[in-house]
């Protein structure tokens, strides 16, 4: 039986330029895991040494993350026989968000719930000074129960470094921020930009920046504004255009600041104010996003009139999205007035 370290390889489940992903078994605790090997082909000996050191450092840092929407890293190692570095992760049943949402547009509540989970996960990671740098639907797994899981934390930065050093062309830049494309400093706000692209895509079925070539897409990301989502999907409230536009701001200073942004006066623009006109259920028509926060009277009115459990979940998703992608707000309870 083929092994990587102590792990028994069960089957190959994916392969790419960076390496191979296997489904494997940890015989010590009889647990099924996913193992991703990291290719070091094409590097000079000195670059390889530095790369291995960075790989273990980045993977160990990401291994400190423990969140329901982040794929857990169990172990990192190097095969004794081949010296191939590998990372051992939680094995997730499900499919990528890319596969899940590539056909028919997902329901609004599903899109909001998934975005809510992703925003919370990014907020959690950024608060620990860990930036993903490659947030895209292909790096997000969705379980049959609807739980989103971000994968590749800790190695996305290394992947981009290796692709650059080895002369590979990066894949589509559609989810990359302007500062990534122009060689600027990258922090959590680049992940927020990518989350804005994902939300735009979930709501409209289209990416905000398109083109026939990577160069054309990159040019639009850096210099052009996207078509407002409401012009593509009329069911999207026009005020939501402003939320997405801020997430996709060219200047990182104009985006949501990953939960670190603090509003000290009413002169600052906030992300979510909910005007709840339905007393029984929340629908797209009764959610209005505009400057200001959800005011307590409106919230009490909805809850006092017996809003459904699904309504509470949608409300929770929107309020949490606003908080986790960049705005600090007072504690909000959707379960009691």
What confidence score (pLDDT) does residue 67 get? 94
Give average pLDDT by consecutive 10-residue segment, the chain, 337 residues: 89 82 95 90 82 81 90 91 89 94 88 89 89 91 95 66 43 84 90 94 95 93 95 86 90 76 29 29 37 38 39 47 44 35
What confidence score (pLDDT) does residue 220 get? 96
CA nearest to 190, candidates 262, 286, 258, 114: 258
Helix 188-204 to helix 238-247 angle (10° resolution) is 150
Q: Is 239 part of the annotated catalytic residue set?
A: no
What confidence score (pLDDT) does residue 48 get? 84
Angstrom distances, CA of residue 102 to CA of 8, 95, 98, 105, 188: 34, 11, 6, 8, 26
Residue ranges matching CATH 1.10.510.10 in the chain: 95-266
Torsion sign (Cα): 193, 199, 202, 207: negative
Which secondary-structure segment (H or E) carries 109?
helix 108-126
Q: Is 211 exposed, middle or buried (0-12, 13-18, 19+ CB in 10 A)?
A: middle
Gyration radius of the chain's alpha carbons: 21
Cβ pair 92, 294 in contact under 8 A: no
Burial string for 303-336 (b: 16+ CB within 10 Å, else e) reads beeebeeebbbbbbbbbbbbbbbbbeeeebebee
What confidence score (pLDDT) does residue 305 get? 35
Determine the Cα–Cα distance for residues 63 and 68; give it in Å rounded to an integer: 14
Determine the Cα–Cα distance for residues 133 and 135; give it in Å rounded to an integer: 6
Cβ pair 60, 49 in contact under 8 A: no
Tokens of 136: 């895209």
What confidence score (pLDDT) does residue 158 get? 54
- What is the CATH code for 95-266? 1.10.510.10
What confidence score (pLDDT) does residue 335 get? 38
Residue ranges matching CATH 3.30.200.20 in the chain: 3-90
The model carries a pTM of 0.73
Fill in the DSSP letter of residue 228: P
Task: Please state the CATH superfamily assignment of the domain spanning residues 3-90 in this structure.
Answer: Phosphorylase Kinase; domain 1 (3.30.200.20)
Determine the Cα–Cα distance for residues 185 and 133; give it in Å rounded to an integer: 11
What are the backbone dihedrals phi and psi of residue 20, each rounded to the nearest 5 degrees, phi first?
Answer: -130, 145
What confidence score (pLDDT) does residue 82 get? 83
Active-site residue, from 30, 47, 134, 187: 134
């Amino acid at each position: 039986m083929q092994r990587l370290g102590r792990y028994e390889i069960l089957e190959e489940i994916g392969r790419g330029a960076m390496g191979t992903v296997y489904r494997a078994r940890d015989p010590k605790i009889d647990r099924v895991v996913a193992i991703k090997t990291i290719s070091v082909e094409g590097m000079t000996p000195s670059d390889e040494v530095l790369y291995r050191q960075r790989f273990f450092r980045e993977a160990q840092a990401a291994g400190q993350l423990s969140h329901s929407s982040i794929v857990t890293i169990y172990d990192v190692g190097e095969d004794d026989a081949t010296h191939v570095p590998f990372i051992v992760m939680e094995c997730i049943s499900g499919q990528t968000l890319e596969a899940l949402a590539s056909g028919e547009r997902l329901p609004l509540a599903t899109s909001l719930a998934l975005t809510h989970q992703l925003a919370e996960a990014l907020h959690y990671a950024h608060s620990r000074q860990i930036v993903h740098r490659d947030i895209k639907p292909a790096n997000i797994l969705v379980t049959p129960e609807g739980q989103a899981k971000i994968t590749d934390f800790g190695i996305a930065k290394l992947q981009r470094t290796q692709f650059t050093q080895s002369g590979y062309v990066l894949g589509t830049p559609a989810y990359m921020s302007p500062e990534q494309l122009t060689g600027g400093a990258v922090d959590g706000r680049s992940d927020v930009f990518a989350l804005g692209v994902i939300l735009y895509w979930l709501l409209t079925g289209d990416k905000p920046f398109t083109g026939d070539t990577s160069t054309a897409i990159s040019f639009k990301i850096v210099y052009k504004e996207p078509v407002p989502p409401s012009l593509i999907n009329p069911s999207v409230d026009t005020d939501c255009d402003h939320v997405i536009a801020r997430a996709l701001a060219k200047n990182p200073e104009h985006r949501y600041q990953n939960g670190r942004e603090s509003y000290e006066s009413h002169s600052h623009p906030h992300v979510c104010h909910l005007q709840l006109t339905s007393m029984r259920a929340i629908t797209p028509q009764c959610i209005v996003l505009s400057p200001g926060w959800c005011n307590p009277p409106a919230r009490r009115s909805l809850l006092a009139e017996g809003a459904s459990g699904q309504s509470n979940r949608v409300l929770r998703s929107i309020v949490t999205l606003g908080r986790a992608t960049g705005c600090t707000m007072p504690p909000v309870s959707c379960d009691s007035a």
